[in-house]
Amino acid sequence: MTSSILITNARVLDVHAGEYLEGVSILTDGDTIAEVGSRIAPIASSTVIDAEGRAVLPGFTDAHVHVTAGTADIAAQAEWAPSYAAARSGHILRGMLERGFTTVRDMGGADYGLADALDEGYLTGPRLLFGGKALSQTGGHADMRHRGRTVTDNHPCCPTVGVVCDGVDQVRKAARDQLRTGAHHIKLMLSGGVASPTDRIDSTQLSVDEIRAAVEEAEAANRYVAGHAYTARAVNRALQAGVRSIEHGNLLDGTSVELFKKHEAFYVPTLVTYQALAKEGLRYGLPETSHRKVSDVLDHGLRALELAHRGGVDIVFGTDLLGGMHPHQSREFTIRGQVQPAIDVIRSATTVAARLVGMAGRIGEVTPGAFADLVVVDGDPLSDLSVLTRPKMVVKAGQPVSWA
């Protein structure tokens, strides 16, 4: 294992300032950045890499992934052996890291086992912030039963994205159970969704009291709640109940923007997944009934992003891809670039994401004391976001992953 890297002749993007530091060197020590400056000497164990004037950015964070989603048919995946799901997850995780995503926040499915395997080097992939299983009401977005099935399998080892719970007491217990495993956050299903078989996109899910119970439990553990929600009605009731991040939000409106600001909450759009599902969902296992729902949200995503951006909402990078569509992850950069300036898109995957997950100063910036997570690219991402889809080199926690 490399204990130190000295990257020389780099063009380092200061994400906070939105400008480059020219001719800079970066020295890592173990998993941390030790120095950033113009004259840095290597330490005894340093491997020296000449960046040849290329742009160097902090490693990216994708704040909405499903690393266990090896298929778009989430209901069918419940029948997989956990060992098989884990093996498929290893392949997905490595691909994410090679694309420059050095930290990911899983939003339903991943557990402490995968996080430990990554931390201990048994799998190669990003730093994994897991929430365990998402909490869903009966008939909600994580209830994957078709109409004729009456039995719910909430076994903790089933490779499903969620657990079904009803009433304040069940929600409170389910939240505590996820937190017991070391979950970084709690995910609530607060509206209908595309992948679930029996709910409408425009439904609201979980009562306000149930939402508040989960928020109370997360806050008691110094964690937070993220909420899957599409419509303004679902988004607004979640924000008013203390949910910290809203996932998707394609149908939010101006009242939602005001509530984001009032409650200092974060917005995590996932635009690439709707394009991918529309084009390739059926090919990768999305049931026809779910595929018909995609059009309900596909055309509204950019409008919601524009509303949130103009309103000054903290916007975070997320993708929500499933199955064989994971390789489209980096396309989220260019999709958002249709609405946001390039530096804001980059910040959504670096500094803003770091604040959401409580890791400001440790991820999302190239500064001493931060994790040595780096992405080297050809070209200028401030003028062409597409260069971020083709990393020249990725370094995670001081370890080079790939050199194209």
Nearest alpha-carbon partner for 301 in 356, 236, 230, 239: 230
| Choices 3.10.20.30, 3.30.450.20, 3.40.50.1370, 3.20.20.140: CATH for 60-329 | 3.20.20.140
Measure the CA–CA gap between 144 and 153, rounded to whole angstroms.
Answer: 10
Q: pTM of the entire structure?
A: 0.94
Tell me what pLDDT residue 64 has.
98
Q: Which residues of 117-155 are buried (b: 16+ CB within 10 A; e: fewer)?
A: bbeeeebebbbbbbbbbbbbbebbbbbbbeeeeeeeeee
Measured in whole angstroms, the distance separating CA 357 from the mean position of its chain's CA atoms is 10
Tell me what pLDDT residue 287 has.
74
For the chain, which residues make up each domain, given as ranges? 4-59+362-403, 60-329
Measure the CA–CA gap between 214 and 174, rounded to whole angstroms.
Answer: 9
Contact 228, 193 (CB under 8 A): yes
Nearest alpha-carbon partner for 211 in 196, 189, 230: 189
* Whether the domain at 4-59+362-403 and the domain at 60-329 fall into the same CATH topology: no
Measure the CA–CA gap between 28 and 4, rounded to whole angstroms.
Answer: 5
Sign of CA dihedral 216, 218, 221, 222: negative
Q: What are the distances in angstroms from CA 307 to CA 256, 303, 398?
A: 9, 6, 38
| CATH 3.30.420.10 assigned to 4-59+362-403 | no
Measure the CA–CA gap between 369 and 372, rounded to whole angstroms.
Answer: 9
Please give the structure tokens belonging to residue 63: 């704040």
Contacts of 53 (CB under 8 A, 6+ apart): 9, 10, 11
Full pLDDT tens readout for the chain, 404 residues: 558 999 999 999 999 999 999 999 999 999 999 999 998 988 888 999 999 999 999 999 999 999 999 988 888 888 899 999 999 999 999 999 999 999 999 999 999 999 999 999 999 999 999 999 999 999 877 776 665 555 455 656 556 788 999 999 999 999 999 999 999 999 999 998 776 666 677 889 999 999 999 999 999 999 999 999 999 999 999 999 999 999 999 999 999 999 999 999 999 999 999 899 888 888 888 777 778 767 777 789 999 999 999 999 999 999 999 999 999 999 999 999 999 999 999 999 999 999 999 999 999 999 999 999 999 999 999 999 999 999 999 999 999 997 66
First to last CA, the chain: 20
* Packing angle of the helix pair 232-240, 208-220 (nearest 10 deg): 50
